Amino acid sequence: MKRADVELTDRIVKRETHSARTPAAVTAAAIGILFFAYVLLETVLQALGQDAWLIDPPTFWRWLANLPARSDPLILGLSGGLIFLAGLLFFLQAVLPGWRARYALPNPRAAVVVDGEVLAASLARCARTSAGVTPQQVLVTVGRMAVDVQIRPTSGTPVDPEAVRAAVEEELQLTKLNPQPAVRVQVASSGVIGQ
């Protein structure tokens, strides 16, 4: 594969496995545009000698400068906390990786991305076959670092968790995920009757 093809494939895989920051960016831009459009409107009205639409800029700045002295501390604290939480939300949206529940499978010819539910269904089928139980008795969740397999055995029929773990790990090896998540198997102490 050419270097340009590899870079394109890597970009496609990253776009499909990471969540976009578009909603946060659009929200921040819309808030900024509305605020500055309002400031521009009030400034133009003041420059033309017209009455302010809501509040003229000098009055607003005086009010803002005297805000701590004449305000209820509870309301001031709550509004400061809300502004802090909004800022923290935008900050975390910017710095956290934003993983989607999708996994890239290595392939030399194409970008292969598998949804987490598809991978979990495949691993659940493997665990169900190894344990000898029905589909309703197996629950598999796939995370970045671990695969959790929960099995409710049929009453009177023991399930070997090590055999299930080995079968699921073998199936997981075929996907060639990097890094390979650890497999944890939990067998419920109470069984299901009549399955």
The per-residue pLDDT for range 121-157, each reduced to its tens digit, is 889 999 999 888 888 889 998 887 888 999 988 888 8
Residues 6 or more apart from 45 whose CB is under 8 A from it? Answer: 51, 52, 53, 56
| Percentage with pLDDT > 70 across the chain | 88
Residue 85 has pLDDT above 60, yes or no: yes
b/e 79-112 (16+ beta carbons within 10 angstroms → b)? eeeeeeeeeeebeebeeeeeeebbbbbeeeeebe
Q: In the predicted model, what is the mean pLDDT of residues 26-46?
A: 90
Return the pLDDT at 150: 92
Query: What's the pTM?
Result: 0.57
Q: What does DSSP say about strands 182-187 and 146-151: parallel, antiparallel, or unpaired?
A: parallel
DSSP run (H or E) holding 36: helix 22-47
Residue 29 has pLDDT above 80, yes or no: yes
Residue 6, SS3 per DSSP: helix
Return the pLDDT at 180: 82
Per-chain mean pLDDT for the chain: 82
Side-chain half-sphere exposure of 160, counting CA atoms within 13 A: 6
Residue 90 has pLDDT above 90, yes or no: no
What are the extents of the domains in the chain? 19-95, 102-187
Residue 112 has pLDDT above 80, yes or no: no
Return the pLDDT at 166: 92
What does the angle CA 154 – CA 128 – CA 168 come to, to the nearest 5 degrees? 130
DSSP run (H or E) holding 65: helix 57-65
Q: In the predicted model, what is the mean pLDDT of residues 41-61?
A: 84
| Cα-Cα end-to-end distance for the chain | 51
Query: Would you tell me how many other CB atoms lie within 10 Å of the CB of residue 11?
Result: 11
Q: Is 102-187 assigned to CATH 3.30.70?
A: yes
Q: What are the angstrom distances between the C-alpha of 151 and each of 132, 144, 170, 173, 180? A: 10, 21, 18, 21, 22
